[in-house]
Amino acid sequence: DVDKSELFTPEIREAIDAHIAKYPPEWQQSAVMPALSILQDANGGWLTTELMDDLAAYLDMPSVSVYEVATFYGMYDLEPQGRHKVCVCNSISCLLNGSEELIEHVEHKYGVKVGETTADGRFTLKEVECLGACRDAPAVLLDKVYHEKLTPESLDRLIDGLE
């Protein structure tokens, strides 16, 4: 049996175990991505090294493999985040349809650069790879909700609605 860290509350273990149960025992490491998402959500939107180490132990895999997954995929963050995440797609369809303009607009209006959090902690501005919504570019993932065909004005309305 793997030691279970104090950071793994019973609720979190249960949620991770539900993903592990979807795979045969020798494939339990397949749960690493959903498990990282669960831990990130429980930790205010970002992953600490300690959390990743604990997850590695829990899934009986090398820590470095967990770090690799967490750094490869844009949905994981390894630094503290704002209360919300505004993720603007910067892949080709969105670029051709104004995503740069969206980013510049947010940077100027809210005084924040890509990768930074607003001074009031309201949101972190991120650039992400294709969100799979290319037909309705430019696309933005706001927390976990997709928004498409955005203009600076419609993006403003979304941001203004954030607490």
Binding positions for ligand FES, rule: CB under 6 A = 89, 91-94, 130-134, 137, 139
Sign (positive/negative) of CA torsion 97, 104, 102, 123? positive
**Residue number with CB closer to ligand FES (14 or 129):** 129
**Residue number with CB closer to ligand FES (16 or 137):** 137
- Write down the least CB distance from residue 137 to ligand FES, Å: 5
Picking from 71, 90, 158, 76, the residue whose alpha carbon sits closest to that of residue 122 is: 158
CA quadruple 20, 11, 79, 56: dihedral, nearest 10: -40
CA distance 31 to 60: 11
Picking from 127, 123, 102, the residue whose alpha carbon sits closest to that of residue 114 is: 127
- Write down the least CB distance from residue 105 to ligand FES, Å: 17
In the β-sheet with 123-128, what is the strand arrangement from edge to edge?
123-128, 84-89, 140-142, 145-147
- Write down the least CB distance from residue 103 to ligand FES, Å: 13
The angle subtended at Cα 151 by Cα 146 and Cα 157, nearest 5°, is 70
**Residue number with CB closer to ligand FES (53 or 100):** 100
**Residue number with CB closer to ligand FES (66 or 89):** 89
CA distance 17 to 44: 21
- Write down the least CB distance from residue 151 to ligand FES, Å: 15
- Write down the least CB distance from residue 146 to ligand FES, Å: 9
**Residue number with CB closer to ligand FES (92 or 119):** 92
